[in-house]
């Protein structure tokens, strides 16, 4: 169950050289070997027109602005909560100090 399953290996067929042998006195030009051919993809390609590129950029900008506004509002909420807790602590400390002095 936890062992990896590999696809079966394809056996490579040997490439046979079918070019005719050059004549004994002929000059042979060293032609470069052809490069590998890229496989053809079955997936559809995505073509962006200028209008769709602009819409994509505008949508991305809107997402960045919304996420930024949410993060800033969360930061402000935490800051306001911290300040209010600090003010409450100072007021309670003052009240307890006055309560203990009047006994």
Q: List pLDDT tens digits, range 56-98.
A: 999 999 999 999 999 999 999 999 999 999 999 999 999 998 8
User: What local confidence, expressed as pLDDT, does residue 100 receive?
Assistant: 80
Please give the Cα distance from 31 to 69 (Å, whole number): 63
Determine, yes or no, domain membership for 80: yes
Residues making up the chain, counted from first to last: 103
Domain count, the chain: 1
User: What local confidence, expressed as pLDDT, does residue 41 receive?
Assistant: 72
Q: What's the mean pLDDT in 28-55?
A: 78
Q: How many other CB atoms are there within 10 angstroms of residue 19's CB atom?
A: 6
Determine, yes or no, domain membership for 88: yes
Confidence label for 29 from pLDDT (cuts 50, 70 and 90): low
| Domain extent at residue 70 | 65-103
Determine, yes or no, domain membership for 55: no
Determine, yes or no, domain membership for 34: no
H helices present in 1-103, as ranges: 50-101
57-94 burial by CB neighbour count: b if 16+ within 10 A, else e? Answer: eeeeeeeeeeeeeeeeeeeeeeeeeeeeeeeeeeeeee
């Amino acid at each position: 169950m936890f062992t990896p399953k590999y696809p079966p290996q394809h056996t490579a067929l040997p490439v046979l050289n079918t070019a005719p042998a050059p004549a004994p006195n002929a000059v042979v030009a060293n032609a470069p070997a052809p490069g590998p051919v890229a496989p053809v993809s079955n997936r559809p390609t995505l073509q962006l027109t200028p209008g769709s590129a602009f819409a994509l950029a505008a949508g991305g900008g809107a997402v960045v602005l919304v996420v930024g506004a949410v993060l800033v509002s969360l930061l402000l909420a935490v800051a306001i909560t911290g300040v209010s807790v600090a003010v409450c602590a100072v007021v309670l400390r003052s009240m307890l100090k006055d309560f203990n002095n009047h006994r």
